[in-house]
Amino acid sequence: MEKTLEGKVALVTGSSRRIGAAIATSLAKHGAKLVINYVSSASAAESVEENIRSLGVEAITIKADVSKPKEIAAMFQKAKEVTDEEIDKVLGVNVKAQFVMAQQAYKHPEDEGRLILISSISAVWGVPRHALYSASKAAVQGMVKCLAWDFGNRGITVNCIAPGGVKTDMYAEAAAKYLKGGDKMSIEEVDGKIS
């Protein structure tokens, strides 16, 4: 099935059952991320969410009575929020993990080495709807500037590379959503920058 809705978000009201669930599932099959709305049956909504996630599509479930304007407004607010879990995951992978790696590398007595961390061009080039990712990569650049001083007295250089679009699964997903044309750097080209 063609992913004609990839990069789009669909909010389907009453999508925990019957017609609404069928519509939500159909939209997911076409690549749309889903906001599943329900009023009373959390378990049915969670079942629809699980089914949609099994298709490889992002989905969230939000309770709201759409006959009440305040609940509609609250539903839209929840749908656009970044969760604490997402923040922890992105910062954990992109910042904390690299900091801990550097911390462990510093404990080893090998001088005159090289430490290279990975940032991203998005740290300095704003990308729509990627504030969290971009901030995490900017944090790596700030960290590298400090680590260069800390490691420097041992003759160890610390740098980061900030690749643009590298042909990976993540790149393909982002490129499909945000880029029109643009260079695609291969894994081999990135490797050439490191070695």
Extract the tokens encoding 165.
Answer: 């679009």
What per-residue confidence (pLDDT) applies to 170?
Answer: 58
pLDDT in tens, the chain (195 residues): 677 888 788 899 999 988 999 999 999 999 888 899 999 888 999 999 999 989 888 888 899 999 999 989 888 887 776 677 788 888 999 999 999 999 999 988 677 888 999 898 888 887 666 788 889 999 999 999 999 999 998 999 999 998 776 666 655 555 555 444 444 444 454 344 443
What per-residue confidence (pLDDT) applies to 195?
Answer: 38
Per DSSP, the three-state class of 57 is coil
Q: Spell out the residues 6+ positions from residue 92 whose beta carbon is closer than 8 angstroms to its own.
A: none
What per-residue confidence (pLDDT) applies to 169?
Answer: 61
Domains 9-80 and 84-194 share a fold: yes
Residue of 16, 33, 134, 137 marked active site: 137
Residue of 15, 38, 133, 134 marked active site: 133
Listed by start position, the domains of the chain span 9-80, 84-194
Q: Rounded to whole angstroms, what are the CA distances from 7 to 29, 57, 110, 113, 126?
A: 13, 10, 46, 42, 18
- The single residue listed with the structure tokens 């007595």 is 109
Label residue 7 left, alpha or beta by phi (over 0 means left) and psi (-120 to 50 means alpha).
left
Instruction: Identify whether 133 is a catalytic site residue.
Output: yes
What per-residue confidence (pLDDT) applies to 113?
Answer: 85
- DSSP line for 65-104: -TTSHHHHHHHHHHHHPPPHHHHHHHHIIIIIHHHHHHHH
What per-residue confidence (pLDDT) applies to 166?
Answer: 61
User: Residue 166 and residue 181: Cα distance in Å, rounded?
Assistant: 13
- Helical H segments across 38-182, by residue range: 42-53, 69-80, 84-91, 97-106, 131-152, 169-178
User: Residue 50 and residue 3: Cα distance in Å, rounded?
Assistant: 19
What per-residue confidence (pLDDT) applies to 175?
Answer: 53
Q: Taken in order 187, 163, 157, 148, is the CA torsion positive or negative?
A: negative
Given the candidates 3.40.50.150, 3.40.50.300, 3.40.50.720, 3.20.20.70, the CATH classification of the domain at 84-194 is 3.40.50.720
What per-residue confidence (pLDDT) applies to 167?
Answer: 61
CATH top class, domain 9-80: alpha beta
Residue of 16, 119, 120, 122 marked active site: 120
Instruction: Identify whether 120 is a catalytic site residue.
Output: yes
